Amino acid sequence: MADLSVRIGSLTLKNPIIAASGCFGYGVEYAKAFDISTLGGVAVKGLFLNEREGHAPPRIVETPAGMLNAIGLQGIGVHRFVAEKLPELRALGATTIVNVCGTTIDEYCEVSRVLSDHEGVHAIELNISCPNIKEGGIQFGCSLLGTHDVVSAVRKVTSLPLIPKLTPNVTDPASFARASEEAGADAVSLVNTFLAMAIDVETRQPKLTNGMGGLSGPAIRPIAVRMVYECRRAVKIPIIGMGGIATVEDALEFIIAGADAVQVGTANFVDPFLWQGLINGINAYLDRHGFASVANLVGQVRSR
Amino acid sequence: MADLSVRIGSLTLKNPIIAASGCFGYGVEYAKAFDISTLGGVAVKGLFLNEREGHAPPRIVETPAGMLNAIGLQGIGVHRFVAEKLPELRALGATTIVNVCGTTIDEYCEVSRVLSDHEGVHAIELNISCPNIKEGGIQFGCSLLGTHDVVSAVRKVTSLPLIPKLTPNVTDPASFARASEEAGADAVSLVNTFLAMAIDVETRQPKLTNGMGGLSGPAIRPIAVRMVYECRRAVKIPIIGMGGIATVEDALEFIIAGADAVQVGTANFVDPFLWQGLINGINAYLDRHGFASVANLVGQVRSR
Amino acid sequence: MPVDIPAVVLHNTRLSPDYNVIALQAPALAALAAPGQFVMLKTAPGLDPLLRRPFSIFELLRDDNGALRGLTVLNKRVGIGTGLLYDAKPGDQISCLGPLGRPFVPVDAPAQAWMVAGGVGLAPFVTLAEALAARGTSMTLFYGGRSAADLYYAEWFEAQGARLVLTTDDGSRGEPGRVTGPLARELAALAPEAAVTLYACGPTPMMRAVADLGTTHARTTFVSLEPVMGCGMGGCYSCVVRVHRPGGTHLVRSCIDGPVFDASALVWDALAGGH
Amino acid sequence: MPVDIPAVVLHNTRLSPDYNVIALQAPALAALAAPGQFVMLKTAPGLDPLLRRPFSIFELLRDDNGALRGLTVLNKRVGIGTGLLYDAKPGDQISCLGPLGRPFVPVDAPAQAWMVAGGVGLAPFVTLAEALAARGTSMTLFYGGRSAADLYYAEWFEAQGARLVLTTDDGSRGEPGRVTGPLARELAALAPEAAVTLYACGPTPMMRAVADLGTTHARTTFVSLEPVMGCGMGGCYSCVVRVHRPGGTHLVRSCIDGPVFDASALVWDALAGGH
Ligand SMILES: Cc1cc2nc3c(=O)[nH]c(=O)nc-3n(C[C@H](O)[C@H](O)[C@H](O)COP(=O)(O)OP(=O)(O)OC[C@H]3O[C@@H](n4cnc5c(N)ncnc54)[C@H](O)[C@@H]3O)c2cc1C
Ligand SMILES: Cc1cc2nc3c(=O)[nH]c(=O)nc-3n(C[C@H](O)[C@H](O)[C@H](O)COP(=O)(O)OP(=O)(O)OC[C@H]3O[C@@H](n4cnc5c(N)ncnc54)[C@H](O)[C@@H]3O)c2cc1C
Ligand SMILES: Cc1cc2nc3c(=O)[nH]c(=O)nc-3n(C[C@H](O)[C@H](O)[C@H](O)COP(=O)(O)O)c2cc1C
Ligand SMILES: Cc1cc2nc3c(=O)[nH]c(=O)nc-3n(C[C@H](O)[C@H](O)[C@H](O)COP(=O)(O)O)c2cc1C
Ligand code: FES
Ligand code: FES
């Protein structure tokens, strides 16, 4: 039995397997299916200060080995979250990572401040990378300065582990990891979805009401692995890798490329019971290959 | 029978279906399978001034709905090409588009000059976007200045239709299309492959000898369609779209998004006989939807 | 408490060039099922297609001793996944996740249950009819199809004690025209005090017409919606529909707050677009 | 002139937990096939897996009147695609592209043909043996496997008039040890003027050992390589192997310049890595 724990700033995760934001509701929805306290973490749906409707359906469309989504960050807002969902998450023993959104730096700070005042929030994942909303998000995530500014501003208002979530829609994600590290982030997570588009050739309209959407799923895995590999060489802080993970091998690929922990999103839609198998499989691999801890495997890619 | 012809600078293609560079050898290899003069164009394997070995195998690995390649631009060099392959391509009646590579601006110019002196070369596709080689290519393709410099330099030495091929590994491909247009390009083609990586978790080595490779195939199509859509709004010159096209619907999706013509690469590996079906299918669609010419369909995406 | 079962295909019965019934061995899942719930099926192993597809639980299968063996799905081929289910062979394995969603609430006598089905919308009514029959609630099935050949399983409902009101577009069986025609007449003819609850499933325009009739005639109407669903578990927010709430409307997830809704709670104009 | 045929699976014969022979209906393709050529099979419809897989043409199938019906493939399950072929059912359709690649050139009497096969490397030798038998060339099959049960089709070659020299790792049939043992002895025992051409297919180390023996004993040796192939048509440059040329070496595509190579032309050190 290898040591599966992962340290992220002041937080210690049971294991490196985290449910990805927007793919696991508010966590509570899955509690009837299995014990979500067994997960390394639960990243809940992105939250703004106030309730938000998101985009009109259709919001998803399937693509080769992937899917596009343009949910538009529908959410109940941070105040209803702490009142209605957080107590249940605490009762369930979940390691709760809250995905924080904003249209302005002030909103990011305000949401983070509210969360910091409540028991049961274990970390903040700063969503500066949602490709599906006009204002906010990506506008910070695609500018090094914007990234630095929003991360350092939020850093000032919270002592919770702070994890900026990076977009893959840039030339050099590693530079954004570096900017986040310099701004005081405890870790970075990547990748968010790839800005993409699907058109119905019969109607000649986009298949999504929003026009564009974010590509996720196995299709993007090789690009995401490359980006995690590049970031590992650019920063010392922990990296939470994701993008198309569906199997134990997929998760190991990210860890070997440089991820300290991983998130699983789209694959949870296909198999909401995959979690225990991932955790057991990583443990079995570590034992088989003689690693005392998952930490020892991080970034252990060997050149050919 | 709709008008399928496509104008690219001084060149007129029979139809919008082009074999993508590096996925169709030097064209002659497929002449034994079908009449390659029926294609809108044949983009041959990337050529440097001199012969080039490329990377050690394994050079490809399959990924979900796609593949990684790190061929490393193995090629016979422009001089052997014009001596050994071009005469055969002419005899076959192929519309030959030569994919030009270089490690310096001078090399791009020299290769283009050699090609301009020979009958049977119909256009130059300037490969400034190969992710698999250290020197050259991408170093120009990821810098707006570099793109502008190499395109305007080659523009001075050739009157052949000049088509810079753009990389998707940048934040804003449309700005590179604009830089190309300003530098005198007759058209742009996109996307080249996405820089990506696959790791064998048992050996912990990259699956490709080169370490990283370029992702192609259906997996990337939604991202490529988005980029073509963005470029269509940024430039007036023709756009040649590609990335995961395997069916008539896929090709139409790119044309509706804004591509004047399309290229097919990876899908040719799966079905080297797909060409006539694509051409007929586009024609049938145009007739069914009452378009007199494929040109009328370009960019006709309707907002929802 | 949903379960995920690698269900073996017991048999695949073709009803027409686009309809089939596929039987899945899934006792543990069947044991949990309530009327009108659905399952998420992985229509093929591997990544093509990637996502599961939602299907109403059609029949519950029992062995000779009455023990639950599994369930069937009434499948209409409209694309990739439903095409794969149409071609499924006995022995194939299809992962089956469920039961999912809010079930129908069967009414009790003296209230009557009027079920209104269009095409594949018949699917959720077999389990409802069994529940109604069990409680002795008198029931009617208003059932419309293109032609006589499309009115599958009508006899089964009759055998359960349901009164049949059939319509076909071509008049080859029952009354010619839409199923909403006779429904409108019978509702108008009802004594005001006659307690009737409407249950509808089918194309969105048809469900909307039934909902409007329910409003006009002040009868509670439940509809079972069929939006695109990415996960079926409340994880993705792809399946939202607009419902009224005090002071306005909001979007709720039809996989967990539905697929069965009180028609009067829905903002029908917002549904027009989706499936 | 390759063709692409949506071939129907006629039957699938399991030889062991990892070997099977799959018969494909493809008369037009079979009619074009030469000894040692290969086909590219789409092991499943759809995108998973995306690429075709290369397989030697094993047997040519004829009907009772001797007319060509198709071909078989000797499949060894090593991953996804070969796993799908192992599970293929009669009636399934598998796109079959070919024939592809440079064939074996059968030698004529008085020269003898010595075929050296390891494991699934037996595949290209059935068509070669038929060609040799047709021209009356005397032939020997050196055939090695893990144990007796792995020496598939040995009797078939015997029936064609081939002399069998069998070896097994566990000694359960023929001589214990590697097939290169007896091969080395017989080559050493040959009269200098005895014309013998070697044909080898199997694991790379085995082919290399045969090639070395060929060099030592000055006998021409042809090998059939099995690198990873993306297209099989010369389009992708994924399948390159290093060969000697005047003044140095270069990389050639084994799908069109091979898979059969004169062993003396190959730079064996460069092959060690790949398959
Ligand atoms: C709760 C619920 C219960 C359902 N019960 C049944 C049932 O019992 N029997 C049955 O045959 N179908 C049922 N459906 C509809 C079924 O899920 C879809 O027809 C199916 O997902 C289409 O998948 P596909 O791969 O064949 O189509 P795709 O290839 O994915 O798409 C083909 C076409 O079908 C459309 N489509 C995609 N999803 C849906 C959808 N959810 N509804 C309608 N059209 C869609 C697409 O927009 C596209 O135009 C149900 C849906 C829901 C939400
Ligand atoms: C000209 C030629 C003829 C061949 N003839 C036969 C034959 O008659 N019978 C037969 O069983 N096989 C034959 N092979 C090998 C066969 O093509 C591979 O075993 C097959 O492609 C593996 O596909 P997969 O999806 O099962 O493996 P994957 O799931 O793609 O990979 C699984 C493992 O197999 C390895 N692998 C991938 N490609 C090859 C390859 N080309 N050779 C060996 N290992 C590989 C991978 O590296 C990986 O380790 C031939 C190959 C060539 C080039
Ligand atoms: C339907 C859907 C909704 C998502 N919502 C969010 C979100 O609210 N916040 C966020 O940071 N990422 C969101 N994502 C991105 C995922 O968290 C993850 O970064 C991405 O999907 C890649 O991982 P995957 O391939 O495992 O899904 C969403 C993804 C999907 C598919
Ligand atoms: C094996 C392989 C080799 C390639 N070689 C080249 C090349 O030499 N020059 C070039 O510009 N693009 C090259 N490409 C990129 C393709 O031309 C094309 O841009 C990309 O594959 C996306 O299209 P697809 O998804 O249809 O393959 C290559 C792609 C593959 C798969
Ligand atoms: S289908 Fe995912 S939330 Fe309803
Ligand atoms: S397999 Fe593509 S060139 Fe040989």
In sequence order, what are the residues at sequence separation of 6 or more whose Cβ sits closer than 8 angstroms to the Cβ of residue B221?
A: A63, A64, B243, B244, B245, B250, B253
Residues of B in contact with C47 (CB under 8 A): 64-65
pLDDT band at D275 (very low <50, low <70, confident <90, very high): very low
Q: Please indicate if any CB of chain D lies within 8 Å of the CB of B77.
A: no
pLDDT for position C204: 95
Q: Please indicate if any CB of chain C lies within 8 Å of the CB of B303.
A: no
Work out whether strand C248-253 and strand C240-245 pair parallel, antiparallel, or are unpaired: antiparallel
- Residue written as token pair 């300065």: A145
Residues of A in contact with C49 (CB under 8 A): 62
Over residues C129-135, mean pLDDT: 97
Over residues A207-230, mean pLDDT: 97
pLDDT for position B304: 85
Q: Which residue has the higher pLDDT, B156 or B139?
A: B156
What pLDDT, in 10s, does the model give residues D177-207? 999 999 999 999 999 999 999 999 999 999 9
Which two tokens mark D111? 């020269």
Specify the residue with its C-alpha closest to ligand 4, atom 1: D236
Q: Let me know if A130 is a catalytic residue.
A: yes
Instruction: Tell me whether the omega of the peptide bond preceding residue C259 falls within 30 degrees of 0, making it cis.
Output: yes
**Residue D53 beta carbon below 6 angstroms from any ligand 2 atom:** yes
pLDDT for position C274: 42
Distance from CA of D43 to the nearest CA of C (A): 13
pLDDT band at D274 (very low <50, low <70, confident <90, very high): very low
Which two tokens mark D92? 């399934």
Instruction: Tell me whether the omega of the peptide bond preceding residue C110 falls within 30 degrees of 0, making it cis.
Output: yes
Over residues D135-144, mean pLDDT: 97
- Residue written as token pair 């988005």: B226
Beta strands in A145-298 (DSSP E): 162-165, 188-190, 194-197, 199-200, 205-206, 212-216, 239-241, 261-264
Residue B268 φ then ψ, to 5°: -65, -25
Q: Please indicate if any CB of chain C lies within 8 Å of the CB of D47.
A: yes
Q: Please indicate if any CB of chain B lies within 8 Å of the CB of D52.
A: yes
Q: What is the DSSP string of D197-211?
A: EEEEESSHHHHHHHH
Which two tokens mark C71? 């369930």
pLDDT for position B136: 62
**HEC sequence for B244-270:** CCCCHHHHHHHHHHCCCEEEECHHHHH
Q: Which of C135, C118, C131 is nearest to C201 (CA)?
A: C118
Our CA angle for B228, B230, B231, nearest 5°, is 65
The amino acid present at D162, given as its one-letter code, is A
C171-194: burial string, b at 16+ Cβ within 10 Å, e else: eebbeeebbbbbbbebbeeeeeee
Ligand 3 atom with least separation from CA of A59: 1
Q: Which residue has the higher pLDDT, C269 or B138?
A: C269
In sequence order, what are the residues at sequence separation of 6 or more whose Cβ sits closer than 8 angstroms to the Cβ of residue D162?
A: D115, D129, D139, D140, D141
Percentage of chain D exceeding pLDDT 70:
99
| Inter-CA distances, A302 with A289, B57, B134, Å | 14, 17, 20
Q: What is the DSSP string of A19-78?
A: EPTTSSTTSGGGTTTS-GGGSSEEEEEEE-SS-B--PPSP-EEEETTEEEE-----B-HH
Q: How many CB atoms lie within 10 A of CB B303?
A: 7
Is the ipTM above a cut-off of 0.85? yes
CB B251 within 8 A of CB B263: no
Percentage of chain C exceeding pLDDT 70:
99
pLDDT for position B190: 98
Q: Is the CB of B222 less than 8 angstroms away from the CB of A303?
A: no
pLDDT for position B113: 98
What pLDDT, in 10s, does the model give residues C13-57? 999 999 999 999 999 999 999 999 999 999 999 999 999 999 999
**Residue C56 beta carbon below 6 angstroms from any ligand 1 atom:** yes
Which two tokens mark A109? 């700070």
Residue B7 φ then ψ, to 5°: -95, 130
CB B216 within 8 A of CB B265: yes
Average pLDDT, chain A: 96
C59-98 residues touching D, CB cutoff 8 A: 89
What pLDDT, in 10s, does the model give residues C58-87? 999 999 999 999 999 999 999 999 999 999
pLDDT band at C275 (very low <50, low <70, confident <90, very high): very low
pLDDT for position B254: 98
pLDDT band at B63 (very low <50, low <70, confident <90, very high): very high
**B132 pLDDT exceeds 90?**
no
CB A50 within 8 A of CB D33: no
Over residues A197-204, mean pLDDT: 98
Q: Which of B189, B196, B304 is nearest to B237 (CA)?
A: B189
Q: Which of C168, C268, C143, C151 is nearest to C212 (CA)?
A: C268
Q: Which of C160, C82, C174 is nearest to C126 (CA)?
A: C160
Beta-bridged to residue D240, according to DSSP, are D253
Q: Which residue has the higher pLDDT, A144 or A135?
A: A144
Distance (Å) from CA A45 to ligand 4 centroid: 37
Q: What does the alpha-carbon distance between residue A127 and residue A180 come to, in Å, rounded to a whole number? A: 12
Q: What does the alpha-carbon distance between residue B243 and residue A57 come to, in Å, rounded to a whole number? A: 27
What pLDDT, in 10s, does the model give residues B204-240? 999 999 999 999 999 999 999 999 999 999 999 999 9
Distance (Å) from CA A269 to ligand 5 centroid: 9
Residue C132 φ then ψ, to 5°: -65, -45
Percentage of chain A exceeding pLDDT 90:
94
Average pLDDT, chain C: 96
Over residues D207-217, mean pLDDT: 97
Q: Is the CB of B204 less than 8 angstroms away from the CB of A253?
A: no
Specify the residue with its C-alpha closest to ligand 2, atom 19: D78
Q: Which residue has the higher pLDDT, B116 or B131?
A: B116
Range name among A29-33, A133-137, C201-205 with the lowest pLDDT average = A133-137
pLDDT for position B80: 97
In sequence order, what are the residues at sequence separation of 6 or more whose Cβ sits closer than 8 angstroms to the Cβ of residue A12?
A: A5, A6
Over residues A58-83, mean pLDDT: 97
B235-254 residues touching A, CB cutoff 8 A: 244, 249, 252-253
CB D39 within 8 A of CB D73: yes
pLDDT for position B140: 87
Q: What does the alpha-carbon distance between residue C13 and residue D112 come to, in Å, rounded to a whole number? A: 60
What pLDDT, in 10s, does the model give residues A72-86? 999 999 999 999 999
Beta strands in C17-58 (DSSP E): 19-25, 38-41, 53-56
Specify the residue with its C-alpha closest to ligand 6, atom 3: D234
**HEC sequence for C82-130:** HHHHHHCCCCCEEEEEEEECECCCCCCCCCEEEEEEEHHHHCCHHHHHH
Which two tokens mark B152? 């305007």
pLDDT for position B139: 76
**B86 pLDDT exceeds 80?**
yes
Q: pTM for the full model?
A: 0.97
Distance from CA of C46 to the nearest CA of B (A): 10
What pLDDT, in 10s, does the model give residues A263-280? 999 999 999 999 999 999
Distance from CA of D47 to the nearest CA of C (A): 6
In sequence order, what are the residues at sequence separation of 6 or more whose Cβ sits closer than 8 angstroms to the Cβ of residue A63?
A: A196, A198, A215, A217, A219, B218, B221, B222
CB A160 within 8 A of CB A122: yes
Q: What does the alpha-carbon distance between residue D18 and residue C204 come to, in Å, rounded to a whole number? A: 51
Residues of C in contact with B64 (CB under 8 A): 47
**Residue C7 beta carbon below 6 angstroms from any ligand 1 atom:** no
What pLDDT, in 10s, does the model give residues C99-122? 999 999 999 999 999 999 999 999
pLDDT band at A136 (very low <50, low <70, confident <90, very high): low
Over residues A250-272, mean pLDDT: 98
Q: Which residue has the higher pLDDT, A139 or A230?
A: A230
Please name the residue of chain B whose CA is at the shortest distance from the CA of residue A228.
B197
pLDDT band at C272 (very low <50, low <70, confident <90, very high): low
Which two tokens mark A67? 């899917």
What pLDDT, in 10s, does the model give residues C146-192? 999 999 999 999 999 999 999 999 999 999 999 999 999 999 999 99
Catalytic residues of B: 130
